[in-house]
Chains A and B, each alone.
Chain A
Amino acid sequence: MNPTVLIADDEEAPRAQLQAALQRVWPEADIVAVCANGVDAWDAFLEHDPAVCFLDIRMPGLSGIDVAQRIGSRAAIVFVTAYGDHALAAFDAGAVDYVMKPVDDARLTQAVARARQRGLLPAAPIAGLADMLAELAAQVRRPAPLVVIQAGIGKEVRMIRTEDVVYFESDSRYTRVVYRADGSDGEALIRTPLKELLAQLDAQQFWQVHRSVIVSQRHIASAVRVDEGNMHLLLRGRSERLPVSRHFQGLFKGQ
């Protein structure tokens, strides 16, 4: 099977340039996703599970650092950045690989060789990677988390406080918001895609457990392993079960 690759850059030309250069220096690679922002990159990672991710650092929605933090050691990360980026100093410390824009073939070949080498090893956490990413993430300016969600229901716009939300679920073209306010349960559909919502929510309170499910951790009663690959969540005071996909099962490991 050919190695799978994801590319993310918010500008079209550098994105296309990297793609063309990759095809030259690593023809057997299968570029499974080319994304224009961090939100799409994370969603595409969950969908395609690529072996190597080339991430631009400054991207809207989620930054390249944010996406790398979520991916952790599940794929080899190569940051793509321009000279003068404040993150360069951290990369020079050697925790991850990076290439500079405009990308040149020689340097890219080197990065590819390193990423492939890493792909042969069992997925072990890289020493210092998490710390370095956490430090970098702290430097990225991000908007305040969403406090209220405006859901249009007929002629009414319902104001749902995020703290009342139990979970969000992707529903083809919409996102279903399930909440509990003033002692009664409610549901609404909003147009904001789940992947965009993810970037606006407080990551401490809302956990993504599946590509199409984000749940408020306060409402999780327990996680139940069904068999080798499957897990689901039981919620407090509710009967439905939410699936936990393989990527997120590590969130529930007992102490």
Chain B
Amino acid sequence: MNHQKIDWSQLWQPGPTRVFSDAELARAGDQRPSRTLLTMVMINMALVSMAVMQAAPPRATALLTGILAAAAFASLRLGQRLWRKPSRRLLTVCTVALVLGCGVVAALARLRNGDAEVRQWALYTCWGVALLASFGFWFLAVYRADQIAARLRELDERERAIEMARQLAAAQIQPHFLFNSLASLQHWVEAKDDRAAPMLAALTGFLRTTLPLFNQTRLRLGDEAQAVRQYFEVMRLRLGERLSYRIAIEPAAAEVQVPPGLLLTLAENAIEHGVQASLAGGPVLLSAGVAAGRLTVDMLDPGAGPAADAGEGVGLVNSRTRLMQAFGPSATITVSAVPGGGGLARIECPAPTTTTQP
């Protein structure tokens, strides 16, 4: 919403502008009014009534009690409806209904009563009730609309967080990767091929280094690079001469604390889109260094780089979100095509100086 622009319609029809759909109300509008709120409303109503009774002459008490009780009953019922559906339209309807009701009561009291002072008091009470209730309705609708909007935002955020956690969990070990690796392993065991033992060792190493990674919110870049090395080793055994790899992490870069899963995501993308998708395959290079307080991680693959028309995968988008959550907007992940051939994924983020450096 544009807060700079004055919404003049609030002048003749005040109230919340957001209109909630039935689905939104069902999702976020199921809370009951709190006991505190109800108690405060009751106390205020009682105080106002007592003040009116005190000021009014005793002969008007019966009539005023009737008017106040009816008004309290009507405004609570209307307030209940507004609570369930705090729309500007319903607010207008409720306010108009209440004001009209007060008008009718005031007119009746005038006809039926000969005492001028009692008539005067009845009229004042009606208008006072109408004024207070209108203001109360307006406050209720605005408060309630804000509450539902906030609840919707909260639910959305929670869903996003759950989705991120789910995808992070899925990113730990791709079942596709695991079963394809087991297929190779099974064949080599059956065929008594010499590659079975190193394959089993690399796969075990990968699982051992990868599984604990995701229990942490931050980990040393060097630790994740170790998991990536095991991953590359499994893939090198599987793909044969289509893949060769090199990992070059500077000591200072290895100590930087990063959110888990970033390097593995880049490594999986490099293998899947850069190596496995190309007929010839080629080398993959992971390098990381720190310069001027910033960490740069490069994953270079022999592929064609990002397709111009295709969007980015969920893995990359999630990684970027997690990186920005950890380091703020100056942290970036970019993917590009390298002139002369190859795809490059680059992470850049601040590298907080660590005390573990000698």
Contact = CB atoms under 8 A, between A and B. Distances in A.
A13 B278 contact: no
Interface in A125-181: 141-144
B283 to A, nearest CB: 16
A154 B265 CA distance: 45
B310 A17 contact: no
Nearest to A100: B179
Contact of B180 (A61, A82, A144): A82
A144 B308 contact: yes
A141 B273 contact: yes
A84 B174 contact: yes
A82 B176 CA distance: 5
A38 to B, nearest CB: 9
A182 interface: no
Interface string B102-140: 000000000000000000000000000000000000000
Interface string B282-323: 000000000000000000000010011110000000000000
A144 B305 CA distance: 11
A221 interface: no
A12 interface: yes
Given A39-B279, A60-B279, A102-B182, A13 B187 contact: yes
Given A61-B279, A141-B273, A141-B307, A14 B180 contact: yes
Interface in B171-202: 174-180, 182-188, 190-191, 193, 195
Contacts of B175: 82-84
**Which of the listed residues B174, B186, B277 has the most CB atoms from chain A within 10 Å of its own CB?**
B277
A13 B279 contact: no
Contacts of B179: 82-84, 100-102
Contacts of B180: 11, 14, 82, 101
B184 A20 contact: no
Contact of A14 (B178, B187, B304): B187
Contacts of B304: 143
A103 B185 CA distance: 12
Interface residues of A, number: 26
Interface in A1-35: 10-14, 16-17, 20
A227 interface: no
Interface residues of B, number: 32
B183 A82 contact: yes
B151 interface: no
SS of A interface (majority): loop
Nearest to B239: A11
Contact of B307 (A16, A58, A142): A142
Q: Could you say which of A10, A39, A85, A142 has the most chain B C-beta atoms within 10 Å of its C-beta?
A: A10
Contact of B183 (A13, A60, A85, A144): A13
A115 B179 CA distance: 24
B276 interface: yes
Contacts of B278: 60
B184 A14 contact: yes
A20 B176 CA distance: 22
A107 to B, nearest CB: 13
B220 interface: no
A37 interface: yes
A17 B183 contact: yes
Contacts of B193: 13
B84 interface: no
Given A100-B179, A101-B179, A143-B307, A16 B276 contact: no
A185 interface: no
A144 B307 contact: yes
A16 B193 CA distance: 12
B343 to A, nearest CB: 11
B346 interface: no
Interface string B267-281: 000001100111100
A202 interface: no
A196 interface: yes
Contacts of A39: 279
B279 A14 contact: no
Contacts of A16: 187, 191
Contacts of A143: 277, 304, 307
Contacts of B272: 58
Interface of B: 174-180, 182-188, 190-191, 193, 195, 238-240, 272-273, 276-279, 304, 307-310
Given A60-B276, A144-B308, 18 more contacts: A13-B193, A14-B183, A14-B184, A14-B187, A17-B187, A20-B191, A58-B272, A60-B278, A60-B279, A82-B175, A82-B180, A84-B174, A101-B180, A102-B183, A102-B187, A103-B183, A141-B307, A143-B307
Top 3 closest A-B pairs, CB basis? Answer: A84-B175, A13-B184, A17-B187
Interface of A: 10-14, 16-17, 20, 37, 39, 58, 60-61, 82-85, 100-103, 141-144, 196
13 contacts: A13-B184, A13-B188, A13-B193, A17-B184, A17-B186, A60-B276, A60-B279, A82-B183, A83-B175, A102-B187, A141-B273, A142-B307, A143-B304
